[in-house]
Structure 1
Amino acid sequence: MFSVVIPLYNKELSIKNTIQSVLNQSYQNFEVVIINDGSTDSSVDAVKAIKDERIRLINQDNKGVSSARNKGIQEAKYEWIAFLDGDDLWESNHLEEIVKMMNIYPTEKVYVTSFEYSDHRRVYKHKRNNSIFKIENYFKEAMNEDLLWTSIVVVSKDCFKEVGFFNINYNRGEDLDLWSRFAKKFNIVKSIEITAIYRIDAENRTNLSKNLEACHYYNYEFNDSLSMDEFKYYKNFLLKRIWEYFLLKDFKSATMLLNRYPEVGKMEFICFLVDLYYFALVRKLKKFPRLLK
């Protein structure tokens, strides 16, 4: 029923555990499609050492993660595509939870569970009345909460015919770009059940790109926004990215983004910094109430 698509590039320390987390699923009707994107380490040997007839290893020259995922989608035998990155982990109930969601909302095409970081950092979560629900306003809610992340997304293969695939021209944010296209076209069903682990300590993790022209957030056009919430989402997103570049002392990239988007002007950025400082101060005062005296 599920085709699990795993892009692979130099993950020799992680890929065995990632695949094993799939094989340990309580729901066992799946295939595993691994696209080796020109790995130069021993990743392929690690995959070949796992003996399971449901695993298919497909090799291609290094073309980037978007190309690898797209190849996996095209090679998939089943209708439902379940994404998993080569260094992340599923809990044993991940696919079982997706099936549960499908039984509740059988006509939808996009399903996502929830995840946690491997360092157990605190993340913001909206309060929900039900454990499984349809996201009412993706752009509004995604400003504060990580609603979608690659390794928790399951989508019908038909969706790609309507919104396209991962953009192979992007080396960062290609997933967020696709989720936005999904949100504009389909209902997204979400579960608050945590079924995946984002391994922040895994090898070969992608950091902020200095090649801004290849980032999805450098290529967004505010005129394409279909709602004020989408407009606000991208403005908020860009403000955070500019701040992150400043923290990395990459002033060139930060300045390029500020100049690229007049919708996010320098005064807007200054106000954003003031808000950051204010909320940080409030959190500190709440943590140490004696400071209020």
Structure 2
Amino acid sequence: MISPKISVILPVFNQENYIGKAIESVLSQSFDEFELIIVNDGSTDNTLDIINQFDDSRIKLINQENLGPGASRNNALRIAEGEYVMYLDGDDWYHPNALEIAYCEASSKDTDLTFYQMINYDDKTGEIYPNDWFDMSTFDESFENRVFSPDETPGSIFDLSVGVCQKIYKSSFLRDIDARFPEGIFFEDMPFFYYVYLKAERISIIKRHLYYRRKHDASITHVVDCKFLDTVPAGQELMRIFIENEWYEMYKFDLLAYKINGPRFALRDIEEKCKIPLYNLIKMDYCEIKSSQYYDDFLNTLGPVKKKFFEDIIVSKDYEDFKTLNH
């Protein structure tokens, strides 16, 4: 059997209301040289029954206990046979020509990584609307219709969308750099993206909306609940990647601001019951930083608001004490 040109990886957990549309959007593509690897991540609703209703030889199904999105994507990537890899979330769907357009761009330009635009869909109102983040507004016209490298975007990498589903990746490139998602945490696509982006040598963009991103009440990023505790380990993993790959010095000014802001905004917005656990995680992290060689960098590079947050966390005795300091 000839290997497929694209492996579409679709992890899913308890998305019986949406998974049918996601699968249909792949099977009905104008481009048909693909395999669809669905990872049923321990769903307890009717998700698996809906998946099993699709009888198509291009579907590969992995059934596993609930391991989370990082492990699901890693397990699918291990068996992917496509020349390129694309990702789809179980509550989203593709434009009918998404695979064809993405493959033509990536293969003709021989890219390691190609971005395309996403567009938002509001599940309550049916409104479809763009935003600058998913429209890749960071990339101006000078980046269109050509190949570029990360060296051309040194001051703006933390303004890029980290969403794993917004790109098509060359499989051999992912294997060569041993690209893996952190497992056991949410926000796993953030450290994955920066590792892959900064390792890439050939990047391009497609200024077309190829992906529909559904916004609904149950989506991971819609409700700031205890999943946002994982902004701390995700930020720790990001620091490790930058340090181990010797990118730290070049990017530290923006990197440290980015690392502080994730948990800072999460602590501001997270549900009340999650505030103390998140504060405790942040405090442990910052106390480790204080005893590391990077402590002075945080003090010297953070802006006043982020620096005050950083220092208030360290000196506060508990969350209530922190609130009195940081108001």
Q: TM-score band (shorter)? A: 0.7 to 0.9
User: Does the C-alpha gap of structure 1 residues 59 and 112 become closer, same or farther in structure 2, counting only changes over 3 Å?
Assistant: same
1:35 lines up with 2:50 in the alignment: no
**Structure 2 CA distance for aligned equivalents of residues 26 and 232 of structure 1:** 44
Greater relative contact order structure (CA < 8 Å, 6+ sep): 1
RMSD of aligned residue pairs (Cα, Å): 2.9
Q: Call closer, same or farther: CA 1:242–1:256 in 2, change over 3 Å.
A: farther
Between the aligned partners of 1:158 and 1:28, the Cα distance in structure 2 is 21
Determine whether 1:69 maps to 2:69.
Answer: no
Of 186-195 and 30-39, deviating more is: 186-195
Cα distance, 1:93–1:130 mapped onto 2, change above 3 Å? farther
Deviates more, 1:250-259 or 1:164-173: 250-259
Distance 1:212 1:194, change over 3 A: closer
**How far, CA to CA, are the matches of 2:154 and 2:187 in structure 1?**
15
1:151 paired to 2:165: yes
Q: Deviations over 1:22-56 (max 9, x none)?
A: 12322222111101111111111111122322222
Could you say which residue in structure 1 is the equivalent of 2:192? 178
Any gaps of 5 or more consecutive residues in structure 2? 123-128, 290-294, 309-327
SS across alignment from 1:129: helix
C-alpha distance 200-232 of structure 1, shift in aligned 2 (>3 A): farther
Amino acid across the alignment from 2:147: K
Q: Distance in 2 between matches of 1:49 and 1:223?
A: 47
TM-score computed with the length of structure 1 as normaliser: 0.80
Structure 2 CA distance for partners of 1:139 and 1:182, relative to 1, 3 Å: farther
If the length of structure 2 is used for normalisation, what is the TM-score? 0.72
Among 136, 142, 158, the alignment partner of 1:129 is 142
Offset at residue 231 of structure 1 (A):
2.0
Residue 285 of structure 1 corresponds to none
Cα distance, 1:121 vs. partner? Answer: 5.7
Aligned to 2:112: 109
Q: Is the 8 A contact 2:106 2:113 kept in 1?
A: no
- Tell whether 2:228 aligns with 1:209: yes
Per-residue deviation, residues 177-236 of structure 1 (Å, max 9, x unmatched): 2222222322222222221122231635255532566x2212324644426443234223
* Contact preservation (8 Å) 2:143, 2:204: no
Residue range with higher mean Cα deviation, 109-118 or 217-226: 217-226
Question: Between the two proteins, what is the percent identity of the paired residues?
Answer: 19
Which structure 2 residues correspond to residues 234-249 of structure 1 after superposition, within 5 A?
234-248=255-269
